[in-house]
């Protein structure tokens, strides 16, 4: 008999996929809390949030590039460039807050445009093209600083640097409103904004359509290249904001400060695939991924695991996250 009406209930991807990351976070908190009495303190959590905020913003950038089916590996070096841009404006050119924010943001947007140029216009593979841009940007900031960091009262030709890290700039990364670190508020605002944009706006949905099936998207009249351009610009923008917070938090313009953040950001975004069992990059998942990594690295540091050994853990997590996203992807074809 012909089946005129198809009724089907499918099982959601469950178990590890859907709530696994949340369980993992709770489990980590429990383990670190039991083994170290300094872990479950306000000071430590405030610390975790401050480092998570930086990584999460870079990861947010990566997420945008992943949503449209691209990949931005240059976010770490963009953050470094933004750090140097902000520090140079403040210390070497004695500029005010607005300039110290606008310069790094402009630099971030510029990197985004550059990434868009090589991937969209020149049609180079995203992964390799943005890797190349990463090296270029890294070289640019090293050339500009001649490899030295920029800090208050640093010696320059004919005396010391004229400007300094002004308090209003330092407030971004170090201040708090009541008991809440200012960066936490910033982070929540950016993530909420990105989430609302991607879920409720027409353009936001188009990001997902482009990433899901670029040919189908093109055929239904979506301006595919423009959407990809937006994604890379947003990626550069968020990486730059991450760089600003980084500069403000450490109070210096350290060369290559953003480089180690790349791995964390990529891992956070890929953990995000699994968070709601959807197998898609999504900003809320990315935030949870960043928190997971932040807690893990903080706990490992408290256990006196040296930072170089932490890379082993990070790499392993990334492999696990990639594996999980691959399994989910496979169910969809």
Partner 1 sequence: MLRLERVTKRYGDVTVLDDVSFTLRRGEIHGLLGLNGAGKSTLVKLLSGAIIPTSGTVELDETAVTLTPAEAIRRGVITVSQEVDDALYLDLPIYENVVPWQGVERIRPRELKQRAATYLERVGLEIDVTEPVGRFPLSVKQRVLIARALASDAAYLLLDEPTAALSTDDAAALLTLLQSLAEEGVGILLITHRSDELSRVTTTTTFLRDGRIAYEGPFQTLSEPDIHTYLSGSDMAEAVEKAVPKTETRIQAELTLPTFGTRLSFTAYKGEVVGIGGVTGSGKTELIEALFGLSGVEQQVTLDGKPIKIREPRQAVRSGFALVPEERRKQGLFLDDSIERNVLAIEGKANAVTRILASLRVKYDQVGQPVRELSGGNQQKVVLSKWLLEDRDVYLLDEPTKGVDVTAKRDIYELVTRLAKDGKTVIFTSSEPHELELIANRTLWLDRGRWQQKGGV
Does 276 participate in binding partner 1 (rule CB under 8 A)? no
Nearest-angstrom CA–CA distance, 333 and 328: 10
Contact with partner 1 (CB under 8 A): which of 50, 228, 249, 280? Answer: 280
Q: Which residue has the tokens 């500069």?
A: 247
Q: Is 155 in the site for partner 1 (CB under 8 A)?
A: no
Nearer to partner 1, 190 or 276 (CB): 276
Q: Is 123 in the site for partner 1 (CB under 8 A)?
A: no
* Residues in 311-330 at the binding interface with partner 1, rule: CB under 8 A: 329
Of 73 and 222, CB closest to partner 1: 222
Establish if 43 lies at the interface with partner 1 (CB under 8 A). Answer: no
Taking the complex as a whole, the smallest distance from the CB of residue 285 to partner 1 amounts, in Å, to 14
Q: Which is nearer to partner 1, 146 or 330 (CB)?
A: 330
- What's the CA gap between 324 and 46, in Å, rounded? 30
Q: Which is nearer to partner 1, 165 or 273 (CB)?
A: 273
Instruction: Reduce the DSSP state of residue 150 to 3 states and report it.
Output: strand
- What are the backbone dihedrals phi and psi of residue 213, each rounded to the nearest 5 degrees, phi first? -160, 95
Over the range 39-77, which residues count as b (16 or more CB within 10 Å of their CB) and which as e?
beeeebbeebbbbbbbbbbbbbbbbbbbbbbbbbbbbbb
Query: Quick check: 15 binds partner 1 (CB under 8 A)?
Result: no
User: Is residue 205 part of the contact set for partner 1 (CB under 8 A)?
Assistant: yes
Question: Which is nearer to partner 1, 19 or 151 (by Cβ)?
Answer: 19
228, containing H or E segment:
helix 224-250
Residues in contact with 76: Cβ distance below 8 Å, sequence separation at least 6, in sequence order? 58, 134, 239, 258, 259, 260, 261, 262, 265
Q: Is 159 helix (H, G, I), strand (E, B) or coil?
A: strand
333 binds partner 1 (CB under 8 A): yes
Which one of residues 41, 153, 160, 220 is an interface residue with partner 1 (CB under 8 A)? Answer: 220
Residues that bind partner 1 (CB under 8 A): 1-10, 12, 199-202, 204-206, 208-209, 212-213, 215-221, 278-280, 329, 331-333
């Amino acid at each position: 008999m012909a089946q005129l009406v198809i009724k089907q209930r499918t099982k959601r991807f469950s178990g590890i996929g859907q709530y696994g990351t949340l369980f993992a976070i709770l489990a980590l908190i429990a383990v670190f809390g039991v083994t170290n009495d300094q872990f479950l303190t306000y000071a430590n959590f405030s610390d975790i949030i401050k480092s998570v905020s930086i990584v999460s913003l870079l990861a947010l950038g990566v997420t945008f590039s992943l949503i449209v089916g691209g990949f931005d590996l240059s976010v770490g070096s963009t953050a470094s460039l933004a750090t140097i841009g902000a520090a140079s404006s403040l210390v070497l050119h004695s500029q005010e807050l607005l300039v110290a924010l606008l310069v790094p943001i402009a630099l971030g947007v510029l990197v985004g445009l550059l990434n868009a140029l090589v991937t969209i216009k020149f049609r180079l593979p995203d992964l390799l093209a943005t890797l190349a841009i990463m090296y270029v940007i890294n070289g640019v900031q090293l050339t500009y600083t001649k490899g030295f960091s920029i800090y208050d009262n640093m010696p320059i030709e004919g005396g010391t640097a004229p400007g300094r890290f002004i308090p209003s700039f330092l407030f971004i990364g170090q201040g708090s409103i009541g008991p809440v670190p200012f960066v936490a508020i910033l982070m929540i605002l950016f993530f909420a904004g990105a989430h609302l944009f991607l879920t409720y706006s027409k353009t936001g949905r188009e990001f997902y359509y482009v990433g899901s099936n670029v040919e189908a998207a093109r055929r239904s009249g979506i301006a595919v290249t423009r959407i990809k351009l937006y994604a890379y610009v947003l990626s550069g923008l968020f990486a730059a904001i991450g760089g600003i917070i980084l500069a403000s938090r450490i109070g210096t313009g350290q060369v290559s400060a953003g480089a180690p953040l790349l791995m964390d950001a990529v891992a956070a975004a890929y953990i995000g695939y699994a968070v709601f069992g959807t197998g898609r990059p999504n900003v809320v998942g990315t935030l949870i991924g960043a928190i997971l990594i932040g807690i893990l690295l903080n706990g490992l540091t408290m256990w006196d695991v040296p930072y170089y050994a932490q890379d082993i853990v990070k790499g392993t997590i990334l492999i696990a996250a990639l594996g999980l996203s691959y399994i989910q992807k496979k169910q969809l074809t």
